[in-house]
Amino acid sequence: MDMNQYLDIFVEESREHLQSLNSSLLELEKDPADKGVLNEIFRVAHTLKGMSGTMGFTRMQRLTHHMEDVLDALRNDRISANSDMVDILFKCLDALENYVNTIVSTGDEGNEENKGIVDALADILKKGGLPTKSAKSSGRKAKSKPSDEKESKEVEVAQAEAEAAAGSEIGLVELNQYDINVIRKALEAGMNVFQIHVEFDKGCLLKSARAFIVFQILEKNSEIIKSVPKVEDIEDEKFDFEFTVVVVTSNDQELFEREINSVAEIAGVHILPVTAEMIGVSAEEIQETAEKTGGASRPEAEGVAAQTAQETIKKAQKAGKTVRVDIDRLDVLMNLVSELIIIKNGLDNQINAKDSNAWSESIEYLERVTTNLHDAVMKVRMVPVEAVFNRFPRMIRDIARELDKDIELKMSGEETELDRTVIDEIGDPLIHILRNSADHGIETREERKRLNKPPVGSIYLRAYQDGNNVVIEVEDDGRGIDVGKVRKKILEKGLETPDIVETLSEKEVIDYLFKPNFSTADKITDLSGRGVGLDVVKTKIEALGGTVEVETRMGYGSKFIIRLPLTLAIIQALLVKIGSEKYALPLSSIREIDNIKFSDVKMVRNREVIMLRDMVIPLVRLNEVLEVKDAIPDEKKKYLTVVIVKKGDKLSAFSVDSLIGQQEIVIKSLGKIMQGIKCIAGATILGDGNVALIVDSNSIAV
């Protein structure tokens, strides 16, 4: 069966399930007696197992199965949860996530068996006074909860197909291209391929246990490449009194006949050697390749399956980027598009009517619809920050355990929405800041006790919308930034001379933390302090069109404030003229526009500044920065038009020749050749088809 079309859904849903498992496990750790959470975990794990089984990701399925055993024991009070156990379960989730990631990039789950985790899980059961399970406990799953219905239905379908395939008794089971490739490779390598059909006594009671023994024999002597029904279904007793497997082996037919027949309650074993002709490959072809490869020796054939798997990986579809969209939002889009069509028809009728009133009315209507359409499309791209936030509780827990600190993460505003592209990029910077807070900010237990602080350190992660921006704050109640220490560091690194360091304000000193290779950590821990850090955070956030600031108070903690634009592709901008050229300034960074008398332009420390309502604001001559040659000289102007731009809490005044007006603009990239131009953030296309550049006010402002 070709499963590729379901791959995207599988990946998406697996991630959701893993995420929900992560948060449930955290809850469980807090309250190990909570049966509701346990049941939820069990249910999700079970679904995950079913899903991976259906997709044929057996390693993933096996791991979830072992995990489920532990969860089941927990649920039945045979063992009780503790942090170490939760640690192992978390590791299990990480391993599962790795499988999913491998599936995303290669289309296959890879070869990692995660033996260590499986053993650890088995250990838990052992320590809980339980024998490690040999034959799988059955029945339980069949009786599971109603929520499993979907899964079992899928299994039933698979089984029905399997039965249909097995119906032809002695004939070859249905093989897909992958199986055929494996068989072909095996034959080329001179291995034997057998189809083994096993029938149990009709009176056999523990048929899955019997099947298990048969599988053990098979696994010992060969490699099973196909099983009908699937191994998992056999384990769960979801099969009649017979099953068929295809194996690749270096052993001969007699060995299997003898060994399998030695198992009790077996009614019959039919072994059918699979030949090249049966899989539609001519024997000569195989002979040829076998000669070419110099007749690959037998032991090597073990790797044959892996090798062919690798080949299919390359062919396998890769999972793409998707956004889940609320159906209501799509309805809005649909409605707007139908309105567009109505307008178009209206305009068609008016072409001959020459009624200019109706014409401009239609244009206004059109404008309204396109604005709404834009809004609606942007909303489709919006994703709640929860998508990034939800992995942090787990992360903070792990860090806290690693550092042996008590840390609680308090989150709010998870429903705040951001553009999908921003969501994808913002994770790493946030991880970095959170780690910083946990590692450098929050004190050790003893220190907190000594300082009379609450024993559990708190990190707050907040998101909220503020005008056209989304603000994300990371605040901790730890020790705060030692500004004196940073000053010392600036001197040590020789970044500034002592007299300049003296004059730096607290804010300016803290800004140095965002400079490359600037780490104040006394000791290098695994988490932070390796000199790559906040500068990367800053670069990333600025690349997204955002800003980052820090507020701190010694002894009371620090707060990182990240501001991000709501959307990326379309912005409100002010169009200005400098000489004959037109430029766009993002409206979000503009505070006000003023006409300044030339007498209010002063020189301070060799820099031009303007005096505005008792404020001294540095003046930036845009025509100079942008190298405009035909700008209007001051002498020809009555006053100086300035656009006051804010960067963080600092203001700059940009001089322009004249204002054109406010406009919604679509941001276009300048492409690879032009990237890296400091003062330009992008380009846009104006109504007349000409290109106007977007001024990067952040990099120009002083």
Residues of this chain that interact with another protein (CB under 8 A) are 581, 625-628, 668-680, 683, 685, 689-693
Catalytic residue among 436, 440, 443, 473: 436
The minimum distance between CB 543 and another protein, in angstroms, equals 15
| Nearest CB to another protein, comparing residues 273 and 516 | 516
CA separation, residue 631 to residues 255, 272, 627, 640, 660 (Å) = 93, 89, 9, 12, 15
Looking only at the bridges linking them, the beta strands covering 192-200 and 242-249 are: antiparallel
- 40 has catalytic annotation: no
| Nearest CB to another protein, comparing residues 421 and 699 | 699
CB distance 249 to 271 below 8 Å: no
Catalytic residue among 29, 40, 68, 475: 68
**148 CB-near residues (< 8 Å, 6+ apart):** 43, 46, 47, 50, 141
Q: Could you say which DSSP state residue 128 is in?
A: T
| Nearest CB to another protein, comparing residues 118 and 670 | 670
Can you read off the two tokens belonging to residue 409?
């993460």
Bridge partners for 621 per DSSP: 655
| Nearest CB to another protein, comparing residues 476 and 696 | 696
CB distance 575 to 582 below 8 Å: yes
Residue 261, class by beta-carbon neighbours within 10 Å (0-12 exposed, 13-18 middle, 19+ buried)? exposed
The minimum distance between CB 670 and another protein, in angstroms, equals 6
| Nearest CB to another protein, comparing residues 321 and 672 | 672
CB distance 563 to 546 below 8 Å: yes
CA separation, residue 490 to residues 496, 511, 514 (Å) = 6, 11, 12
Catalytic residue among 17, 22, 40, 46: 46
- 414 has catalytic annotation: no
The minimum distance between CB 584 and another protein, in angstroms, equals 12
Between CA 209 and CA 428 the distance in angstroms is 48
Where helices occur in 56-136 by DSSP H, the ranges are 58-75, 83-106, 115-127
The minimum distance between CB 568 and another protein, in angstroms, equals 16
Q: How far apart are the two ends of the chain, measured CA to CA in Å?
A: 62
Q: Would you tell me how many other CB atoms lie within 10 Å of the CB of residue 88? A: 19
The minimum distance between CB 518 and another protein, in angstroms, equals 24
Helix (H) or strand (E) holding 558: strand 557-565
CA dihedral 69, 72, 76, 77 (to 10 degrees): 70
Between CA 376 and CA 328 the distance in angstroms is 10
The minimum distance between CB 671 and another protein, in angstroms, equals 6
Between CA 93 and CA 64 the distance in angstroms is 9
The minimum distance between CB 429 and another protein, in angstroms, equals 23
Bridge partners for 382 per DSSP: 419
| Nearest CB to another protein, comparing residues 297 and 580 | 580
| Nearest CB to another protein, comparing residues 115 and 678 | 678
- 390 has catalytic annotation: no
The minimum distance between CB 652 and another protein, in angstroms, equals 18
| Nearest CB to another protein, comparing residues 501 and 692 | 692
Give catalytic residues, as residue numbers. Answer: 46, 68, 436
